[in-house]
Homo-oligomer: A and B are copies of this chain.
């Protein structure tokens, strides 16, 4: 039934008519680009207010070539994987970027699917890609389209992309391994992930270099992020019951670090006395484990803030930086690696 109000929205033309001026005057009254007499301005504004006028953003963008929006893409693994651990990482990063953008009053747009041409094009002036893979296809696509790009964490295959924020894994992971060593670890094993991104690559490299410098053989095992907790537990059990079992494990994801703690408990291994455990990302899994697990916090908030700042600078026409912005991961030492009283 009945007479719903017409949905056709009011345009600059309606305002012009009502204020008895030309459309260009209306436009200028709002943009302030050229001087308008006091009286005219007032007429325009009140006409606009009475009519409930709002500029059509698409028309404006079409004309100016800019939308005032920044896109955000998080590589799929997060959105797909649904463990609590991954969600926390995803939420923290998305939340931080959103908060930061809100603070600066710039619209943020989650790009749904750059690969699907049907929904591929969103009106964005630039795009932030977080945690790209090596030779990332989204990065390639954006470069091809000439969309101003900032990456949060570098694409490991494109270390020379200067518009990037990166984490200094070398310092942090070295610090962690030194700590384990200092606490008496003799046989450290790294359980690395299978995702081909900076996080896995750089932490592996740092571990390898550290072992080399300390005259140890770099023992590494793959523990894919796609594993279920159960399968992970099986693999960990095998590792911990093997002949020369490690006395310290560094696990990429914190949910699997918690799995290690659980398996250790089952096997009667005391943490940290018999086995030390550390994670390369922090989450509630590591904080709530018994004992709480030492972890490297990836400083998502700082990554987000730096990424947003870089993007806005880029859009404002800043000069190309010489090198990526560096953010430090933060080591959170907890009971799982504290053998010596009073140590960090």
Contacts and interface: CB of A to CB of B under 8 A. Distances in A.
Interface of A: 5, 7, 9, 30, 52, 54-62, 67-69, 79, 87, 90-92, 94-96, 98-99, 101-103, 105-113, 116-117, 119-123, 144-146, 284, 287-288
Contacts of A92: 91, 95
A292 B260 CA distance: 24
A60 B123 CA distance: 10
A79 B106 contact: no
A92 B107 CA distance: 19
Contacts of A119: 68, 105-107
Contacts of A110: 98, 101-102, 107-109
5 contacts: A57-B121, A58-B58, A91-B95, A101-B110, A109-B110
Contacts of A288: 287-288
Contact of A98 (B52, B94, B145): B94
A344 to B, nearest CB: 20
A68 B118 CA distance: 11
Given A54-B145, A108-B110, A99 B121 contact: no
Contacts of A122: 57, 69, 107
A143 B54 CA distance: 13
Nearest to A68: B119
A287 to B, nearest CB: 7
